[in-house]
Structure formats: C-alpha cells, structure tokens
A and B are shown apart, each in its own frame.
Chain A
Amino acid sequence: MPGSDWLLAFVGVVLTLMVFCYLLGDKLLFGIAMYILLGVSSGYAAIILIKRALLPLLIAPLMALPKIEGLLALIPLLLSLLLIGSLFRKSAKAARVPLGILAGILTALTIVGVSRGTLAPQLLSIVDAFDPALVVKAGMPNWTAIFEAFMTLTGVIAVLFFFHHRAKTSGKYEISQPWLEGLSGVGQIFIGITFGAVFVGLFNTALTALIASLERLINFIRLWL
C-alpha cells in the first residue's frame, strides 16, 4: 500500500473517532470534524464551479469580443453583477432583476413541466387502464384488469377528495355530506397504504443491509475462533 493510502487511512480513522466523540458528549471534536467536512465540500464545490462554469461559460466568451458570442456573454455578466449587488444594502434592489428573471423562468417551466410531464401522463394512464384491449381478453372480461382499473380510479378520486376535505375542514366551514366523509376516509386508506409501502421498502432495505453486515461480522469472528 502506498504511503498516501496510509496517510489517508490514518486521517480517516482520526476523523471517524472525532465524529464518534459526539456519542460521548464531546462536541468540540465533532464540531471540528463537521467544520472540516463543510470546508472541504465548499472549497471543492467552489473550485468545480470556477473551473467548469465561470471560466468556460462566462469568462471565455468575453475573449471573443466583439463577436456576437462575446456580446451575448455580457448579458450573464451583467446579471451576475446585479446579483452581487445583493451583498450591499444600497444595491440590494438591483439583485431583484436577475432573481426575478430566474424565478419567472422556473415558474413557467414548472407549470409547463407539471402539466406535460405529470398530470397529462398520469391521467392518460388512468384512462388507458380502461382500454378495451386490456379489460377484454379473448372475448372475455379480464376481471383482474378491470378491478385494477377501478381501484386505480377510486384511489385517485378518493385521495383527491381527502385533500379537498382536509383543506375545507381546516377553514371556516366543514363538509357535512356523509358520502364525502366516506370517500375522504377511503382516500385516507390509500394514503396509509402508500406510506406503509414506503415503510416496508425502507425496512426491507435496512434489514437487508443489517443482515449483510452482521453476517460479515460473524464470519470474521468465526475466522478467529
């Protein structure tokens, strides 16, 4: 093993012990380790951003002036300078210009993206579940597909009513219709099943990792027995 690896291993052991000191109530060494982590991460990120973002995307095009490529690079440069103005009180309002442009673009993209990337495909997926090619198989009704399609539709509607009912009851008025209460309860069941599935997946992963780790540990101990 080369010397650099030994050095890195030693540093790793020291940092690990410093983090473990938190379990003993010592926050000084733990804090030092955290500060080292944050400092290294920030420094590394700054270097990456300067080398791979600022220099090739902002500074390098300016070298092409007065070409159109260089002129276009003045726009992000100006917006960047305005954004730097947020550090000072007198020029803080100037920073609203690039932030406003950025927020506007992201909002527009989000609305379009959610509509085109989530709502429309999900609704089409629900409708496709009732496709005759799926619910009819060899001239006979495919009850499994039909049940799955209705359950999907019921789940979507019930969950939507649950959130609707919850929003109304948190306000000044309540919904008094019993069928809405029942539908909201069904939606709550679907939400519970979803969270249960999340918990099962998480527990399954944790249990798998635990068994693998303990098995390796026990096998290691058996080597010395």
Chain B
Amino acid sequence: MTDQGEPLQICPNCGQENALQSLKCIRCGELLEGLFHFDDYDEQEGVDASGELDNQDTISTVLNSLDENALLNEQNQAASEFPEPAEETQPEPPAWDREQVPDWLERVRQRVKEEESALSQASGGSGAGGRQSEDERAQVDQAFAGMLRRIREQAENERKKNRPSTENLVDENGDPEWLRRIRELHPPTVEESQNLPAKPAVSDELDDDWTEEELQDLLRREIGAQYLEEHRQELNFPLREQPPTEETTLEPAAEPGVPEDFHNIPDDDLEEREKPISLPDNPLESQQVLSDSAGSEMPDPELAVDPQPYFETELSEAPADEPDEEPDEAADAVAVDEAEEEQPEGLEMQEADGETPAIPPILPEGTDETQFGGNSEEAPEPDEDGEKVEPEADGELVEPDANPEAETAEDKNGPEKSADLILRRDQRQRAQTLKNIIEQEGRRSIAVLHEKAPQGKLGRLILVLLLMIGVVTALVLGPAQKLELGVSPMSSAFEKSLGQIKSGEHIMVVLDYQAATSAELESLAKPVFTKLLAQGAKIRLLTSQPADVWLAGGLFDSDFPEEVPKTEFVPGGILGYLALSAGSTPDWGKTPIEKAISGGTDLLDQSGAVLIITDSFDFARVWLEQVAPWKPGLKTLVITTAVNAPVLQPYFASRQLSGYLAGAADHSGQELNQRAWQVGVMIMMVVILLGMISKADADANQREEQRNARE
C-alpha cells in the first residue's frame, strides 16, 4: 500500500509503519498527527526530551502550552469576573503538560510573556485591561489559528502532490488495495500463519475475486472484534481534563457488530470518526468514561462488538465554570457506569446524515476546541481520490437550521465552520439541480410557440374512402350520361391555333418534362399530334433533357410508329435555345451548335409554331422571356399539367401565349361519367365547406381566448 520511496511515520501506539499522509494507523487505528510538521522543530528531539509522551510534538500540545501562559491565565482570572459562555471557557492544561515542554515552546511562551508584560504596562492593569486582554487573546488565537490553517493547507497540498494514486494498485502477489488493507487491519497471528497451508498462487488469485457477501462476512467477523481493540487503544488516548457533565451519555449503535455504512477504507473511517459535533466538553470525563468502558469493566458483551458507540454531550448546557473545576474522576466513573448500564434506553443513536453511524470522538491530547476553532471540522481529510472532504460535524450539518445544537456549534466554531456549511449547502443545491436535470430528461423545457395539434391520418383516410365509395357507387349504378367538360378560353385558343397550321408547315415541339408526369402529358399530346399529322404538318422534336430523348416515343400513337420523328438534343438548356433563336451564322462558318442541330439558327424561322410540352412553369416562362421575344411572329402553344394553368393565364392574357392545354380537364376527347364526376365534386365541396366552417370556428375561439387573455 505504501510506496517504497515514500517516507513513513511510525505509529506511537503499536509501532506500525504508516504512510506519511495516513491519519490513522493501519494496524491499530491510532490517530496519527503527522499531518502537522513544523520545519523548525525536530520531532525526535522533542520525543527524546519528553521521554514518555508520544504526542509531544502535536499541535494540541502547542495549543495547550499556550493556555498555560500568563496571558491565558490572566484571562482565566478575568473569566471569573466576567463569566463567559460555556463554549469559550478554557480548561486548565494538565500538569504533565507543564512539566514537559520543548525548548521551542518555551521560547514561544517567553515571547508571549514579554508581549503580555508590555501590554500590561500599556494598559495599566485596570479593569478594562481584562477585556482588552481578552481581545488580545482572541487576536492571538485568531492569528495562531490562521498560522495553523496555512501550515495545514501547505501540508495538505504537499500530501496531495506526493500521494500516489492508490486505486487499482496490485502488489506483486496480485492482491488488490482493499484486500491488503483488510489484512493489515487484521494481521494473522503466528499460529494462524503456521497453520495456514501453503497455497498456490492460483488460489491467491482466486481469492481476490470475492463476492460482496464474502466481504461483508469477513468484515463483520473481523472488524467487529478489531473495532473493540481500536476502542481500547483510543480509550487510552490522553484527553484534556474537564469536569463531568450530567448530559454525557453513551450511545450504542443501532446494530451491534457491523456498522450500517461500513467500508474498509481507513481514511474514510477516519473521516467518519471525526464528526465530533457531539464532542464532550469534558475530555477528561470522556477519557475516564472511555477508559472504564475499555477496561475490564465492560459490562455488556454487545458493547464489546459494538463498533460505533459514541458520546453525546450537549455543549450548550455545559457550565461556564467547569474548566476551573477539578475533575471528579470517581463521580465520572460512577456516572459513566450508570450510563453504560442504561445503554439500551439511555443511549441515543445518532447517525450522521441519518445513515452514517456515528463514531466515538477521538480528541487528541490537549486539543482545545476553542483554540483550535473546531479543529475536527476545520481539518479536511482527503478521501481516496485525494479530494478534500469536509468533515461533518453531525448528521444535521447539511441542514443546520434543523438542529439548534449544530447552530450552537457553528456559532462557537466561528466563520470557518460557517464556510463549511455554505459549501455543503452549495453542494446540496448543485446535487438537487443535477437531480432536477436528470428528472427533466426527455421532457420539453422550452415552450413551443406554435404547438400544432397532432393531426392523425384518420381524417385523410376517411376523406379518401368517402370519395372512393362515392365514385365507385356512382359508377356501379350503371352507365350515365357522358360528361363533356366545358372548353376553357385557353383550350379553345389552342385548338384554334392548331387548326391554322397548314399542310407542310413545320411545327417545332420542345420537350421538357420528367417521367413522373409523362402519363398526364402524353394523354394530352397524343390527340394533338394525331391531328397535326392528319393536317400534314411536319413535326420536329427538340429537347434539352436527356430523358426526353427516350420519353418522346410515348407522345405518339403506337398505331403509327413510322411517323415518330427523331428527337434532337439541344445542349445547354435554355442557352442552347437562345443561341438558336438569337444567334446568327458568322462569316467564317457555322457555329458548333448550328452543326449539332439541323437547320441551325434558321430552325425557328422555318417553323410556323412552337409547341412546348413541359411540366414546369419555369421552363415555359423562361422560354417566353428569353426565346420568344426574338421571334415575335412565332406562335407559342403549351401543353402542361393542371397545376400550371393559373400561372400561365397572365401570359395568355398578354397574348404571349396563343393557347395552352392544362391537365385532363382540357382534354378534348375526354368523356367522363357525369354522375361520378358530380359525386366527386360534391364530396370535395362538402369537405371544403366543413373545413372552412371548422377553421372559422377555431379562429373565433382563438380570438376569444386572446381577448380574454388581454382582459
């Protein structure tokens, strides 16, 4: 788990080597305070000087040492005159702390004393000086807390830089990271190691593939007992003396044995362990209680396997003069014994976040909440990913308003904890936003301006069926009078112009249509060509569409295939026609396009009329715009589809067109069943009228709604 080149720190309790960034011993769970290192302080020297104390070099010691200086002592004296809230009371540092202080701390104290004496001389030692001393102490505390914060941030940054990625690390045996941690938490005894048979490497690899149930069983079996060991070691942890409080209770976890949200990550465990919103104000009491509970007086065997008992202390109700009182260890022991005996009823289960079980708070020696400014909340612990994880003071931290105790703790810990709260609130809002986004997935978030009602195909189907049924019924009823549709002026003019073509006169037919409309156009063109051929006219077919070269054969009646002329291809589209109409033969010879088309530029001059067969209005319009003006005396006739009839009418009115046939309605030889035609037209008229009525009704309703909306 720990890299070879990484510096190690030795657990003061069991001697286990741990990584420098580890906050907890991987063997015994002892808190490691190697996080805070002072560059100008030699840890080994401090240890040697103390001889017995393990945590001499901790920041807690530094803080406690500051408490015993004259400045703080004077403040304590002033506190008797000016009672302070319980949160701001300072306990008396332990005697052993005064006796064993390092040299550097002595220098700090000496300097503080010098500053204090200077301040005392300046203030004159009046009663107001007590308040000033208090303010000065607050400033000192604030400055010191800022220094600690900077040191801590620097150490954390260095640790983040130096900390390698521990994910998916597999050692030489193929053991993953989580399995090695479990093994380190529960090292095999000598007997077990001797009794274990030698297993091949393959079995070791197979052991890595543990299921969730196996892991849970392993953790429940091993960590349960291990947890008691951790508590015993923690109970021996020296805590700050503080008079007992009656509100101190010992609470067991809801489920003895395995915690609900258990994991095998020591760092995360430490994170949960540092949720001391229920930190007792009286560390000595806690120490005594823990010592008793961890000792031979553990009465309840369930408590021995209970991994998460913890102490709850209502901080707001702590007496103000408690720090000045000498702890009554006997009374504490009795109180704790009573609390332990009343565990099932008296102990309250408190879970962080409502899910995470609480962990008994471990307060390092000499740690002063007031001085440390809520050290446990301030000290962010990195998670597995190395990210900063804000320790939760309690489960209600995310909802601080719901818990007055949390508010009290917040007020006591100052603005730093408030910043944590703000951060958590922000995180929660972002989580809620993300949740809302996920919930809105696939839903319309922007209102549609013109939302159309879904139009099903049922209406069209009904209309088609109605029309079909009506027409078929009219046809089935029997032969009716043949309908002769009225001849339009355009069609009449077309017939008239066609009749004026004399025998032997050339008719130039220009083709420009697609195969999709060939059926409609061919039905119109066939009678025309038949009539022209009957009149003895000479037909010339021209086209600029390659497909029309092949489609032109369908324009003529198949009964006279020998009369079908050859279709000539005019390259260049309308430009080619323009070259034939506007061009002239140069002196040096014929142009290429004149050679390509028989007749050349005289082609239009030789023709008595031009018949355009097209399905495009644009082609007819362009012809009338580009080609026809060059030959003013040339008649232009058009055969086109019914859609183009209205747009061609202005050209007929301006006499640019001599006539045109548009659609089957202008078919001269068309004979229809009059009854069927009337039924079809009637059905369509009814449908159109109903559509107009419904549309008018819908518009009226819409206007009414808009009027109501405006009002």
A interface residues with partner B (beta carbon < 8 Å): 41, 44-45, 48-49, 52-53, 56-58, 60-61, 68-69, 73, 105-106, 109, 113-114, 116-118, 121-122, 124-125, 194, 197-198, 201-205, 207-212, 214-215, 218
Contacts and interface: CB of A to CB of B under 8 A. Distances in A.
Interface stretch (B39-47, B300-308, B528-536, B648-656): B648-656
A215 B663 CA distance: 19
B143 interface: no
Given A48-B546, A49-B546, A56-B595, A201 B471 contact: no
B625 A211 contact: no
A37 to B, nearest CB: 9
Interface in B577-607: 578, 588-589, 592-593, 595-596
B360 to A, nearest CB: 69
Contacts of B665: 201, 204-205, 208
B475 A214 contact: yes
Contacts of B626: 109, 113, 117
Interface string B542-553: 000011011000
B571 interface: yes
A194 to B, nearest CB: 6
A218 to B, nearest CB: 5
Interface string B626-638: 1011000000000
A113 to B, nearest CB: 3
A52 B60 CA distance: 102
B448 interface: no
B643 A198 contact: yes
Given A58-B592, A210-B680, A212-B670, 13 more contacts: A57-B592, A57-B596, A69-B589, A113-B622, A116-B625, A121-B651, A197-B646, A198-B646, A204-B664, A205-B520, A205-B663, A208-B664, A214-B472
Central interface residue in B546, B588, B677, by most chain A CB within 10 Å? B546
A118 B651 CA distance: 8
B35 to A, nearest CB: 62
A52 B588 contact: no
Interface string B533-567: 00000000000001101100000000000000000
B546 A45 contact: yes
A68 B591 CA distance: 11
Nearest to B578: A109
16 contacts: A44-B546, A48-B546, A53-B571, A56-B592, A57-B592, A122-B650, A124-B654, A125-B650, A201-B663, A205-B641, A205-B663, A208-B665, A212-B664, A212-B672, A214-B676, A218-B475
B2 to A, nearest CB: 59
B654 A211 contact: no
A117 B646 CA distance: 18
B672 A56 contact: no
B138 interface: no
A74 to B, nearest CB: 12
Contact of B664 (A114, A121, A209, A215): A209
Nearest to A55: B596
Nearest to A47: B546
A218 B650 contact: no
A211 B475 CA distance: 8
Contacts of A53: 569, 571, 596
Contacts of A124: 654
A114 B621 CA distance: 9
Contacts of B676: 211, 214-215
A207 to B, nearest CB: 5
Contacts of B476: 218
Contact of B642 (A114, A204, A215): A204
B646 A201 contact: yes
Nearest to A58: B592
A98 B595 CA distance: 24
Contact of B625 (A41, A114, A194): A114
Contacts of B677: 207-208, 211
A53 B570 CA distance: 8
Contacts of A118: 621, 624-625
Interface string B354-365: 000000000000
Contact of B592 (A73, A106, A122, A203): A73
B684 interface: yes
A190 to B, nearest CB: 11
Contacts of A214: 471-472, 475, 676
B471 A211 contact: yes
Contact of B471 (A61, A116, A122, A210): A210
A215 B673 CA distance: 8
Central interface residue in A44, A197, A207, A210, by most chain B CB within 10 Å? A207
Contacts, number: 132
* Secondary structure of the B contact surface, majority rule: helix
List the 6 closest pairs (A to B, CB-CB), nearest first.
A117-B625, A113-B625, A125-B654, A48-B546, A205-B642, A53-B571
Contacts of B593: 57
B662 A218 contact: no
B681 interface: yes
Contacts of B520: 205, 209
Contacts of B628: 117
Given A113-B626, A218-B476, A122 B654 contact: yes
B546 A211 contact: no
B645 interface: yes
Interface in B201-219: none
B628 to A, nearest CB: 7
Contacts of B589: 68-69
Central interface residue in A69, A118, A201, A202, by most chain B CB within 10 Å? A201
Interface string B654-690: 1110000011110100101100110011001000000
Given A52-B569, A211-B676, A117 B624 contact: yes
Contacts of B571: 49, 52-53, 57
A52 B596 contact: yes
A4 to B, nearest CB: 15
A48 B549 CA distance: 9
Nearest to A119: B625
A68 B476 CA distance: 72
A68 B586 CA distance: 11
Contacts of B621: 117-118
Contacts of A44: 546-547, 550
Contacts of B467: 210
A68 B587 CA distance: 11
A114 B624 CA distance: 9
B84 to A, nearest CB: 70
Contact of A61 (B549, B592, B629, B672): B592
Contact of A207 (B569, B646, B681): B681
A58 B628 CA distance: 28
Nearest to A54: B571
Contacts of B596: 52-53, 56-57
Contact of A117 (B629, B642, B662, B681): B629
B578 A208 contact: no
